[in-house]
Amino acid sequence: MSAAVRTSYREALRAGLRDALARDERVFLMGEDVGRYGGTYAVSKGLLEEFGEARVRDTPLSESAFVGAGIGAAINGMRPIVEVMTVNFSLLALDQIVNNAATLRHMSGGQISVPVVIRMTTGGGRQLAAQHSHSLEVWYAHVPGLRVLAPATLADARGMLWTAVEDPDPTIVFEHAMLLGMEGELAADAGPVDIDRAAVRRAGTQLSLITYGGSLFKCLAAAESLARESIDAEVLDLRTLRPLDVDAIVATVAKTRRALVVDEGWKTCSLAAEIVATIVENAFYELDAPIARVCSAEVPIPYPKHLEDAALPSVAGIVDAAREVMRR
């Protein structure tokens, strides 16, 4: 293992993009403001200068058009990486993603592959109000034919992209807005990582906190707080939201017998609901207490800071819910 370097989630994403652009000439990046402006969240800053206009392309403000163009390019042998500003805006491209990208392998009897990677920001916490703050990962995780990723760590921000580019089928990558500025240590030789397995980020014995994306660090902080109360929580980072790593979910529940699912999506018909159902179907006899969920309040994410904080999962809320699960 080489030395670790200090970096941010944003820089790790950029390193992943640079790596993909350098590895394969068929890879190109396109989306709103990804070129001259450097990306709305400054993820692609400098890549236009480094790789040129043919490989880093600014697009008009039409999600349906540029996502569709990416799908077309993928069908024709390219390896496009399409950036959509937020998951909220991606709804304009749902037809392209759900009706074209996800179905064409099936409808062509396996003749057509759509190796497109569609990256988008997700989540609240930055006072961007109800049209820029939602967590709609589950909308995509519902659809057969898609692979859905939620990198939450620096290593995954750096390494998931190339593996996704290599996947012959369409992949949606959710980058949580609150993680972009997160800093930490990353191995200097960090590279591609698997996009199949969930990962235990903190081992524990009494309770499983099952989560993904922006809620991972809330869960880790909650686990530290719980440890001071002698509650030993395990934290499972799902990493891939479709297909779910059922084995890992069953393994952690079999170990701790108690589960709390933390999901920034709304509770009704959420990924959390899917995980609870998965546990009940596959690990019913392992359970020693009812499963609980911490999700966002069932409201459009509010703009005022105090209301937004109250609507999103919080460390204190996770700790409270965990205590409740331990009491049952």
Binding site for another protein (CB under 8 A): 257, 284-289, 327-328
Distances (CA, A) of 194 to 162, 166, 205, 249: 10, 11, 26, 17
> What is the rounded end-to-end Cα distance, in angstroms, of the chain?
44
Two tokens, residue 326:
């331990």
d(CA 249, CA 162): 25
- Residue 145 C-alpha from the chain's centroid: 17
Closer of 221 and 246 to another protein (Cβ): 246
Closer of 77 and 285 to another protein (Cβ): 285
Closer of 49 and 288 to another protein (Cβ): 288
Residue among 311, 307, 318, 309 nearest 297 (CA)? 311
The catalytically annotated residue of 11, 32, 63, 234 is 63
Closer of 138 and 319 to another protein (Cβ): 319
Residue among 211, 193, 204, 207 nearest 272 (CA)? 211
Distances (CA, A) of 267 to 39, 69, 204, 213, 262: 31, 34, 25, 16, 10
Q: What DSSP state is assigned to residue 177? A: G
Closer of 76 and 284 to another protein (Cβ): 284
Indicate if 132 belongs to the active site: yes
In the complex, the smallest distance separating the C-beta of residue 223 from another protein, rounded to whole angstroms, is: 21
Indicate if 63 belongs to the active site: yes
The catalytically annotated residue of 132, 137, 234, 274 is 132
CA angle, 180 then 241 then 40, to 5°: 25
d(CA 312, CA 317): 9
User: Helix-strand-coil percent breakdown of the chain, rounded to 5?
Assistant: 40, 20, 35
Give catalytic residues, as residue numbers: 63, 132
